[in-house]
Amino acid sequence: MTDVIRLPALGPTGEYVSGTEATVHDVAGDLIGALALVPSVFVTRALSSLRKAQPLSAEERLSAIARAGDLFSTATVSGLSPDAYVHAVCRVSGLPVSVIHSAAQATGHRAHNVSRAVEAARPQDSVRDWRDPLTRTGRAVWVPKGEVFAVHASGLHPGGHSLWLEALALGYRVAVRPNPREPFTAHRLVAALRMAGFGTDHVVWLPTEHEAGAALLRGADLAYGGDDVIRKFSPSPKILAQEPGRSKILVTADQDWREHLDTIVDSASHHGGAGCVNATAVFVEGDAGPLASAVAERLGALPSAKPEEAAAVLPVQAVTSARALEKFLRMKAGDAKPWLGAEQVVDELGDGSAVLRPAVHEVDRPDAPQLDVELPFPCVWFAPWSRRDGMPALRETLTLTAFTEDDGLFAELVAEPTIANLHRGDWPTYWTDTGLPHEDYLATFLMRCKTVIRS
Amino acid sequence: MPTTDPLLDLPAHVRPDPDAFLQAAMEWHFNPETGSPFWLRRMKSLDFDPRKDVETHDDLRLFPNVVNELRDVPVTDLVPRGYGAEPEIVGVFESGGTTGVPKRVVCLGDWLQRFVDWCNAKLDAHGFPRDVQWLGVTPGGPHIVGKLFERSAYTHGTFGMFVDLDPRWVKKLLAAGKTDEARAYGDHVLDQVTDVLRSQDIRVMAITPALLDRVVERDELVKLINEKVSAIRWGGTHMDAASRQLYRTEVFPDTILYGHYGSTMVLGVAGERLGPAGDADCVFDPFSPYNTFSVVDPATGHNVRYGDRGQVVMHHVTKSLLLPNNVERDTAVRAEPLQGTVGDAVADIAPVEVFEDGVVIEGVY
**Same domain, yes or no: B78 and B219:** no
**Same domain, yes or no: B217 and B87:** no
Q: How confident is the model at residue B278 (pLDDT cuts 50, 70, 90)?
A: low
Q: Is A226 on the interface with B (CB under 8 A)?
A: no
Distance from the Cα of B216 to chain A's closest Cα (Å) equals 7
Q: Does pLDDT of B297 surpass 90?
A: yes
Euclidean distance between CA atoms B193 and A224, whole angstroms: 33
Euclidean distance between CA atoms B81 and B29, whole angstroms: 9
Q: Is residue B30 part of a domain?
A: yes
Q: Is A133 on the interface with B (CB under 8 A)?
A: no
Instruction: Express as a percent the part of chain A with pLDDT over 90.
Output: 89
**Same domain, yes or no: B73 and B144:** no
Residues from chain A contacting residue B279 (CB–CB below 8 Å):
none
Distance from the Cα of A261 to chain B's closest Cα (Å) equals 47
Q: Is residue B298 part of a domain?
A: no
How many Cα neighbours within 13 Å face the side chain of B153?
A: 23
Distance from the Cα of A193 to chain B's closest Cα (Å) equals 26
Residues from chain A contacting residue B241 (CB–CB below 8 Å):
18-20
The answer to whether the Cβ–Cβ distance between B242 and A215 falls below 8 Å is no
The answer to whether the Cβ–Cβ distance between A40 and B212 falls below 8 Å is no
Q: Is the dihedral of CA B52, B56, B59, B61 positive or negative?
A: positive
pLDDT of residue A170: 97
Q: Is A219 on the interface with B (CB under 8 A)?
A: yes
CA-nearest residue of chain A to B177? A232
Number of domains making up chain B: 2
Report CA-CA distances (Å) from A166 to A107, A331, B25.
12, 40, 70
**Same domain, yes or no: B156 and B288:** yes
- Give the domain-ending residue among B237, B259, B293: B293
Which residue in B330, B244, B234 sits closest to B281, CA to CA? B244
- Give the domain-ending residue among B253, B269, B293: B293
Element (H, E) at A177: strand A173-177
Residues from chain A contacting residue B280 (CB–CB below 8 Å):
19
pLDDT tens per residue across span A180-209? 999 999 999 999 999 999 999 999 999 999
**Same domain, yes or no: B56 and B204:** no
Select from B238, B240, B250, B359 the residue whose CB has the most chain A CBs within 10 Å, as the one to mutate to test that interface.
Answer: B240
The answer to whether the Cβ–Cβ distance between A39 and B217 falls below 8 Å is no
The answer to whether the Cβ–Cβ distance between B212 and A45 falls below 8 Å is no
Domains of chain A by range and CATH?
Answer: 5-242 (3.40.605.10), 247-424 (3.40.309.10)
Q: How confident is the model at residue A1 (pLDDT cuts 50, 70, 90)?
A: very low
Q: Is residue B330 part of a domain?
A: no
- Report the residue from A37, A40, A48 with minimal CB separation from B213: A40
Q: Are A373 and A396 in contact (CB under 8 A)?
A: no
Q: How confident is the model at residue B141 (pLDDT cuts 50, 70, 90)?
A: confident
Distance from the Cα of B305 to chain A's closest Cα (Å) equals 22
**CATH code of the domain in which B204 resides:** 3.40.50.12780
Distance from the Cα of A208 to chain B's closest Cα (Å) equals 12
Please count the residue pairs, one from chain A and one from chain B, whose beta carbons lie less than 8 angstroms apart: 46
> B188 is in which domain, residue-wise?
108-293
Q: What is the rounded average pLDDT of the residues A404-417?
A: 96
DSSP state of B236: S
**Same domain, yes or no: B68 and B153:** no
Strand B202-207, strand B133-138: pairing = parallel
Q: Is A38 on the interface with B (CB under 8 A)?
A: yes
**Same domain, yes or no: B88 and B128:** no
**Same domain, yes or no: B41 and B10:** yes
Distance from the Cα of A37 to chain B's closest Cα (Å) equals 9
- Give the domain-ending residue among B61, B91, B107: B107
pLDDT of residue B363: 39
Q: Residue A353 contacts by C-beta under 8 Å, 6 or more apart in sequence?
A: A26, A27, A28, A29, A94, A306, A316, A317, A318, A319, A322
Q: Does pLDDT of A228 surpass 90?
A: no
Euclidean distance between CA atoms B335 and B294, whole angstroms: 10
pLDDT tens per residue across span A42-87? 999 999 999 999 999 999 999 999 999 999 999 999 999 999 999 9
ipTM of predicted assembly, 2 dp: 0.81
- Report the residue from B183, B213, B219 with minimal CB separation from A41: B213
Euclidean distance between CA atoms A429 and A394, whole angstroms: 14
pLDDT of residue A235: 82
A36 SS3 class = strand
**Same domain, yes or no: B242 and B114:** yes
pLDDT of residue B360: 43
Which residue in A450, A436, A379, A385 sits closest to A413, CA to CA? A385
**Same domain, yes or no: B102 and B128:** no
